[in-house]
Copies of this chain bind each other. A is one copy, B any other.
């Protein structure tokens, strides 16, 4: 890990605020341990739409509308929305934006998108480019399965390291500094790291090296240690990826985060009873957990300092067919009470 350059810390000196947030999920997520935290839960996979893709668009759009409403703003008060999803050409985001008609900057960070969108919204509000900005991300189990893996009708057997793509979306309205809200303090944009994992059913292992590097870099650059945080929260490493992250940080950075680490993928589902194997994944996993439980706890000052590290696997079905390994990326943002 002797990198000549480390990722630069981006400081949000004006401490922009998350003044509203919303999380919208599907049935399985509502039945999980965090079911009571979400704003809206649907009982089927279609939400009144005709296709899974349109359902995902509906999901993200509803999360954004919920966040705007809870911020007591209207659509036309939002200067820019930063969002993304896993679908080809990010149609989960862009088709929702067609209806919302908010200036829209599309992002692609795979499952790290919620962290990336929060960083962008933080940067643009902190600098006064935007008064109010949206950060959002979504995923849908059914649209993701048929795009990345197999048609659902095929009934493919899932491997032990597999994770379950969350049907969910989260959105936050970021605005100027306001008391008694979660604040965005600083951030780190990560580098792509690939240690050669080729098993597309083991995303946790593919993403863990990038997460380790981003967290390790962040702690080094900010001259802090795990004890300085209430929580280091990764996006969707799941059980396998979490174990690898802890190990990699010990090996490469001589840092043990096990005491204060949690992973949204192992929080959103009960990995023992919900048949999700290693946990949840997808852009909507960390998006829905952060934009419900985590922001709630920061607002209530039950948590005061959370380093949220979104993790993404930057593969496509084409790259895997072409025998490429799976590059990972992780972006971090420090959120304070």
Please give the residue numbers on chain A whose beta carbons come within 8 Å of chain B beta carbons, in ascending order: 3-5, 7-8, 10-11, 50-51, 53-54, 75-77, 79-80, 84, 86-91, 94-95, 97-98, 101-110, 116, 119-120, 123-124, 126-127, 129-131, 147, 188-194, 314-319, 322, 324, 327, 329, 331
Contacts and interface: CB of A to CB of B under 8 A. Distances in A.
Contact of A88 (B101, B102, B318): B318
Contacts of A76: 4-5
Contact of A104 (B106, B120, B192): B192
A315 B87 CA distance: 11
A104 B319 contact: no
Given A87-B318, A123-B127, A192 B101 contact: yes
Nearest to A122: B129
Nearest to A109: B106
25 contacts: A8-B79, A51-B322, A53-B319, A88-B88, A88-B316, A88-B318, A89-B319, A90-B314, A94-B192, A94-B314, A94-B327, A95-B314, A95-B324, A98-B192, A101-B192, A104-B189, A104-B191, A105-B189, A106-B109, A106-B116, A106-B314, A107-B107, A107-B108, A108-B108, A123-B127
Contacts of A193: 98, 101
A26 to B, nearest CB: 20
A95 B327 contact: yes
Contacts of A102: 191
A11 B110 CA distance: 30
Given A5-B77, A84-B108, A98-B194, 4 more contacts: A53-B322, A89-B316, A101-B191, A104-B191
A46 to B, nearest CB: 13
Contacts of A94: 192, 314, 327, 329
A86 B126 CA distance: 30
Contacts of A101: 3, 191-193
Given A88-B88, A103-B191, A319 B95 contact: yes
Q: Which of A53, A188, A316 has the most CB of B within 10 A?
A: A316
Contacts of A106: 107-109, 116, 314, 329
A109 B88 CA distance: 12
Given A103-B191, A129-B10, A322-B54, A108 B89 contact: yes
A190 B123 CA distance: 18
Contact of A89 (B88, B124, B191): B88
A174 to B, nearest CB: 14
Contacts of A124: 10, 123
